Amino acid sequence: MATSLSYLDVLSDPRFHVPFGCGALALSAAFFTLPSLFPTLFATEKQRAWIVTGLTALVMTSSSLPFHYSFFTGSNSLADVSLMDSAFAIGLCGFFASYCVTDLLLGTLFYRSEVHPLSGYVHHSLYAWMVTSLVTYHVPGGFCTLSILELPTLVMAIGRINKAWRSDALFGATFFTTRICLHIYFVYEIWRAWPDRQFYWFLLGVLPMHLLWFKGWVQQQIRMRKEKLRKMVPSTTTACHPIQSIKPEAQVSAEVTSREDDKYVTEETWGSRSTRHLPRPFVTHRLRAGSSILEHDLDRITDPIPVAPVLVG
């Protein structure tokens, strides 16, 4: 393997700093231009905050395809990928580093509330250092191959910009497939390709963060499902059985019985009284005495109820 470069060598390399500068200018221009061209899509601060991230995810995901083609069709390991130390790979790393810097600067100035300390400052700083380090080791193509992991970010960005395009199922599927399964697989492949350089520690270092994000998404889906159940069950019960307006000792009038039946029903007379003359809501109330209406109906519900898609983040 070639001698490692210094960080100064990387920053002074036009194959790195030219894409870095062009990327920063292009992403900044898109951030200020797109809201004017599509005001309905970028009306809120949250929607505008996803312009830079969405464009970067699109570029990195699509650019990773040539590396995957080379790896899965003609390479025995990642070290044999033809584009591993190419100008294209170095340029993509420079572009992604420019995204990390640009997103933090624009976020600090224009959408500070959308920049999370972990997924923003920590994540971007870590990745800017990581992609630069990979160039110093002549393996920028390794990061470009793993840029397919930006696919769930692209799905999330589309859903955040327009709620009509949001899909929880698609996001969860792409995140689990790429950020968890494929991530773990490439830890092994990187170890196999460069067992003496320990590059796999780059991936192992960010894997806990991906697991934490996925755990938060799963917990959100469970919480949203429970809230949906709670909202649906009481409304159905109240519409069918207006129990709240009927008291245990309310007067019951029979439709086909004698005058004697028109009297108050008490605890003493309940056991001997036929329920066929009582209104259905009153009977239902008596049968459910001592238990929660909500709990009773929740026990009967077995069919899954669709939940409006909400994304993590």
Per-residue pLDDT tens digits for 83-113:
999 999 999 999 999 999 999 999 999 999 9
Task: Answer whether residue 296 shows pLDDT above 80.
Answer: no
Give the sign of the dihedral formed by CA 190, CA 203, CA 179, CA 89.
negative
Residue 149 is given by DSSP the state: G
Instruction: State both tokens at 185.
Output: 């697989």
Cα radius of gyration rounded to whole Å, the chain: 30
Distance CA 99, CA 93 (A): 10
Q: Which amino acid is at 178?
A: T
Q: What pLDDT score does 119 carry? A: 77
Domain count, the chain: 2
Residues 95 and 210 in one domain: yes
Residues 86 and 177 in one domain: yes
Closest CA to 313 of 24, 44, 35, 49: 49
Residue 219 domain flag:
yes
Residues 199 and 152 in one domain: yes
Q: What pLDDT score does 268 carry? A: 46
Instruction: State both tokens at 203.
Output: 């991936």
Residues 124 and 261 in one domain: no
Residues 212 and 288 in one domain: no
Strand, coil or helix: what is 252? strand
Residue at which a domain ends, from 178, 196, 227: 227
pTM for this predicted structure: 0.71
Residue 237 and residue 293 in contact, taking contact as beta carbons nearer than 8 Å? yes
Closest CA to 63 of 146, 185, 169: 146
Residues 282 and 183 in one domain: no
- The residue segments making up the domain with residue 170 are 7-227
